[in-house]
Amino acid sequence: MADIDVEAVLSKLTDSEKVDLLSGIDFWHTKPLPHHGIPSLRLSDGPNGVRGTKFFMGTPAACFPCGTALGSTFNVDLLEEAGKKMGDEAKLKGAHVILGPTINMQRSPLGGRGFESLGEDPVLAGLGAAALVRGIQSTGVQATLKHFVCNDQEHRRNAVQAIVTERALREMYALPFQIAVKHSSPGAFMTAYNGVNGTYCSENPALLDKMLRKEWGWDGMVMSDWYGTYSTTDAVNAGLDLEMPGPPRFRGDILKFNVGTDKVLPHTLDDRARNMLKLIRKCAAAGVPENAPERTEDTPETAKLLRKIGVEGTVLLKNEGLLPLKKDKKTVVIGPNAKIATYHGGGSASLAAYYAVTPFDGISRKLETAPGYAVGSHSHKMLPLLGAQLQTNEGKQGMTMRVYNDPPTSENRDCTDEIHLTKTEMHLVDYYNDKLKSRLWYADLEGTFVADEDCTYELGVVVCGTAKLFVNGELVVDNATTQRQGTAFFGSSTVEEKGFLEVKKGGTYNVRCEFASAVTSKLGGNTDLHGGGTLRLGGCKVINLQEEIEKAAELAKDADQVIICAGLNADWETEGLDREGMDLPPPMDDLIRAVAEAAPGKTVVVMQSGTPVHMTKWIEKVAGVIQAWYGGNETGNVIADVLFGDANPSGKLSLSFPRKLQDNPAFLNFRAEGGRTLYGEDIYIGYRYYEFAEKEVLFPFGHGLSYTTFEFKDLAVETKGDKVEVKLTVTNTGSVAGAEVVQVYVAPPKKEQLGEREVNRPRKELKGFSKVYLEAGESKQVVVEMELKYATSFWDEFRQKFCAERGVYEVIVADSSAVEEEKSLRGSFEVTETFWWSGL
């Protein structure tokens, strides 16, 4: 891609050509104008890895730990390194723009995309995002901050207004975007699906023009979320540059007509086209050719980085002396997450990973003798994918998919495509086959398995289109004759229709699915949005849950150390659907409690989830808990490294873990009612609320243990012009090397200083942090620098500006938001005169 002279090119474009620049041509590409030297840009998800252009049969990629894990590293240098690798991965996929990072605030543990975001604190999220953006854009690839703003739930996300005070909007929800703009200058923004206070974000001039462009002085390109443009004139005039995906629904000929009637004025059209051209010019630095082929580059260096990120984000929540485990002890591994690599959440975050290491495999490699194993319980919401349990006629794992123009009832039909599938979850939105004659087409999927015991199998089918599942020629699941609306695949598909199959040990069973494309769906939705449709085939043995729990507990009795691999997966935490509660899938709580009672003092729980889950039913009975999140390609190796002490955990929780859902400040105001969601907790989200209300949490924001100990001393706080400098010495007082996070909180002036000027404020807020690595016995001086106005200000709704009040501000340096006096230091600085400010 060649560099372009933006103003020279803009002067040559017709109004029609300018409009052509403002929408995509397909799911991932913008429109080229070759005669003007304007190439097509390729955009790609996403939040924890670069998928490329395909949902179906995507090119394998590096899968990074999820957003909450990235936030829990509290390490901006490491996140910048991660961003560089993301940029390199984008180049392999021929992408010029990455659709990430995600930095929406986590009001509630139930948010379906909570795992994508960096945390509940705007400073942590903003500084972390800035580091990722700097890393990405150092490669020439451009980053996209999303979703601007208040896209904090999935329930009715396209049809809900966030009703939020201006103060909460500024101090909590817009602030991470503001900080990221200040420290990184991202190339693009993506608007949220929802509206704010009555106006949809993609057509909201107060957000896009007044705040983002005029107040913050940002000059990048604003795109909609996919199908998140809801108007023609309003969106263009408000500042939305690019409608995605294409072909356009609100632009194209409609916008060209409105330009001709002056509903969109010439200078406004120029502004939108100019922003697109400026982004194209920035992307030239990446050196990625137009329409480049997609490639992979699975290297040891990438694996090493992913493993390091995973370890630094893993949080040791509890340790009563059991951890680290011993490699020569009799070990038992229990749980549904043990033999499945739960490495990403659902939706835009999903991708085909280079590989994925299961916890069981990672643990087994550390041990001198093989561990015992019991599944104990299931964790699935939908049945586990069937592909991993089947073989093709050629002996490969998975199924063979054969595509046809004609239905199964036709004789002598010709196969137009044959595909080997290992994963039986197919979003066919981007499947293309030039031998297909129309949008109506058919596919047969086939594989076999040999039963290893007499048992009952449960099989399930989810589809956008129609599907029937046969075993040895007998119909087991009919998801064609009658269909019911479900929530999978962004709400496009049916519920999981199920059937049962009795099998005998040693018997061979041929599984065949007859699928027809999206246009055959009886759901009545807009199948145009979903291309060829969707199909998910699942299945597993039906187990007696009580017997499995008893078997696991009995196995644990004789072990020296027991590892329970528990948690959620992409069924539970996914784009398009919020969780209904914080509970683990039943009967997982019963399993953990039974095993812990059978092996007291010997049981550690490895929890995989992107957001908090309830733990109070068993937390007192286990000797250790590790929060492993969704760990990307290296999931199993990261877990094993931490369990056995080959790596010292240094992650800190990027969000509070409440004892129960009802304690969460958004409990009464989460999800849409009457077309709106009331942000009734105002600025008090996360730890700000729990501290102000003196509500006990299970694990506080910023919490994380280590296999060593640290000491803070010699605090010095100094104001230097517009900066506040915090200096202290950190010493590793333990016997092994490790890393500690210095967390700097600032408390507002005391009430007696404020008098009538008092405004309710959180007791303290995170304003800076730094991670320091220390050998055993080593000391280092740590300096955390904060900008004075960001460290002191609240949003003054009368003046519509930030206000830094005069008074003495307390600085609290600690290793967690739950300050323990013996592990913290206190100092102060003073603002002598109140001042107001706006901008960056």
pLDDT in tens, 756-765: 667 899 999 9
Specify the amino acid at residue 310: G
Does a structural domain hold residue 263? yes
CATH for 432: 2.60.120.260
Supply 527's token pair: 């199948």
pLDDT given for residue 81 in this prediction: 98
Supply 697's token pair: 């949490």
Which of 478, 448, 473, 446 minimizes the C-alpha distance to 463? Answer: 478
Look at residue 826 and tell me whether its pLDDT is greater than 80.
Answer: yes
- Cβ atoms within 10 Å, residue 505: 10
Does a structural domain hold residue 30? yes
Does a structural domain hold residue 692? no
The answer to whether 551 touches 334, Cβ cutoff 8 Å, is: no
Q: Are residues 54 and 125 in the same domain?
A: yes
DSSP 24: B
pLDDT given for residue 432 in this prediction: 85
Q: Are residues 40 and 111 in the same domain?
A: yes
User: Residues 94-120: pLDDT tens digits?
Assistant: 999 999 999 999 999 999 999 999 999
Look at residue 164 and tell me whether its pLDDT is greater than 60.
Answer: yes
CATH for 770: 2.60.40.10
Q: Are residues 588 and 466 in the same domain?
A: no
Q: Are residues 350 and 386 in the same domain?
A: no
Q: Minimum mean pLDDT among 293-302, 523-532, 809-818: which range?
A: 523-532
Q: Which long-range contacts link 679-684 to residues 24+ away (Cβ below 8 Å)?
A: 679/107, 679/150, 679/162, 679/163, 679/164, 679/165, 679/168, 681/107, 682/165, 682/167, 682/168, 683/167, 683/168, 683/171, 683/172, 683/762, 684/762
The CA distance from 623 to 610, in Å, is 22
Does a structural domain hold residue 300? no
Indicate yes or no: pTM above 0.85.
Answer: yes
Four-point Cα dihedral 596, 599, 600, 602, nearest 10: -100
Angle in degrees, CA 105, 172, 761, rounded to 5: 135
Give, for 127, the enclosing helix (H) or strand (E).
helix 122-137
pLDDT given for residue 299 in this prediction: 96
Q: Are residues 350 and 246 in the same domain?
A: no
The answer to whether 606 touches 588, Cβ cutoff 8 Å, is: no
Q: Are residues 170 and 280 in the same domain?
A: yes
Q: Are residues 433 and 363 in the same domain?
A: no
User: Residues 107-158: pLDDT tens digits?
Assistant: 999 999 999 999 999 999 999 999 999 999 999 999 999 999 999 999 999 9
Question: In 154-198, which ranges are continuous DSSP H helix?
Answer: 166-168, 175-184
User: Residues 369-408: pLDDT tens digits?
Assistant: 999 999 999 888 899 999 989 999 999 999 999 999 999 9
Does a structural domain hold residue 47? yes
Does a structural domain hold residue 666? no
DSSP 348: G
Q: Are residues 618 and 475 in the same domain?
A: no
Supply 62's token pair: 């590096």
Look at residue 807 and tell me whether its pLDDT is greater than 90.
Answer: yes
CA 540 to chain centre: 28
Compute the half-sphere exposure of residue 429: CA atoms within 13 Å on the CB side of its CA: 20
Which of 617, 639, 616, 613 minimizes the C-alpha distance to 626? Answer: 639
Q: Are residues 740 and 627 in the same domain?
A: no
Q: Are residues 536 and 548 in the same domain?
A: no
Look at residue 646 and tell me whether its pLDDT is greater than 60.
Answer: yes
Confidence of residue 526 (pLDDT cuts 50, 70, 90): low
Once rounded to an integer, what is the mean pLDDT over residues 498-521? 96
Confidence of residue 755 (pLDDT cuts 50, 70, 90): low
Contacts of 252 (CB under 8 A, 6+ apart): 19, 23
pLDDT given for residue 750 in this prediction: 87
Which of 71, 73, 65 minimizes the C-alpha distance to 49? Answer: 65
- Cβ atoms within 10 Å, residue 632: 28
Residue 683 CB burial class (10 angstroms; 0-12, 13-18, ≥19): buried
pLDDT given for residue 751 in this prediction: 77
Look at residue 2 and tell me whether its pLDDT is greater than 70.
Answer: no
Once rounded to an integer, what is the mean pLDDT over residues 707-735? 97
Supply 117's token pair: 């975001």
Q: Structurally, how many domains does the chain consist of?
A: 4
* Bridge partner list, 771: 741
Catalytic (active site) residue 225: yes
pLDDT given for residue 787 in this prediction: 98
User: Residues 670-683: pLDDT tens digits?
Assistant: 999 999 999 999 99
Q: Are residues 559 and 512 in the same domain?
A: no
Compute the half-sphere exposure of residue 548: CA atoms within 13 Å on the CB side of its CA: 20
Supply 740's token pair: 């500690």
Distances (CA, A) of 395 to 398, 401, 445, 517: 9, 15, 15, 28
Answer with the one of 541, 560, 587 that is the final residue of a domain: 541
Specify the amino acid at residue 768: G
Pairing of strands 188-191, 221-223: parallel
Does a structural domain hold residue 667? no
* Bridge partner list, 447: 511
The CA distance from 649 to 456, in Å, is 42
Which of 155, 247, 230, 238 minimizes the C-alpha distance to 189? Answer: 238
Q: Are residues 177 and 43 in the same domain?
A: yes
Report the length, in residues, of the chain: 840
Q: Give the chain's mean pLDDT.
A: 96
Q: Which long-range contacts link 209-212 to residues 24+ away (Cβ below 8 Å)?
A: 209/238, 209/239, 211/174, 212/148, 212/177, 212/181, 212/239
User: Residues 333-378: pLDDT tens digits?
Assistant: 999 999 999 999 998 888 999 999 999 999 999 999 999 999 999 8
pLDDT given for residue 758 in this prediction: 74
Angle between helix axes 76-92 and 122-137 (nearest 10 degrees) is: 40
User: Residues 431-471: pLDDT tens digits?
Assistant: 889 999 999 999 999 999 999 999 999 999 999 999 999 99
The CA distance from 29 to 60, in Å, is 20
Active-site residue, from 121, 225, 241, 815: 225
Residue 481 CB burial class (10 angstroms; 0-12, 13-18, ≥19): exposed
Supply 22's token pair: 């403002």
The answer to whether 324 touches 645, Cβ cutoff 8 Å, is: yes
CATH for 87: 3.20.20.300
DSSP 233-273: HHHHHHT--BB-SSS-SSSTHHHHHHHHTTSS-HHHHHHHH
Contacts of 761 (CB under 8 A, 6+ apart): 748, 794
Does a structural domain hold residue 479? yes
587 prior amide bond cis, ω within 30: yes
CATH for 346: 3.40.50.1700
pLDDT given for residue 128 in this prediction: 98
Once rounded to an integer, what is the mean pLDDT over residues 639-650? 98
The CA distance from 240 to 276, in Å, is 11
Answer with the one of 655, 679, 698 that is the final residue of a domain: 655
Host domain of residue 172: 6-152+165-286
Confidence of residue 635 (pLDDT cuts 50, 70, 90): very high
Compute the half-sphere exposure of residue 770: CA atoms within 13 Å on the CB side of its CA: 18
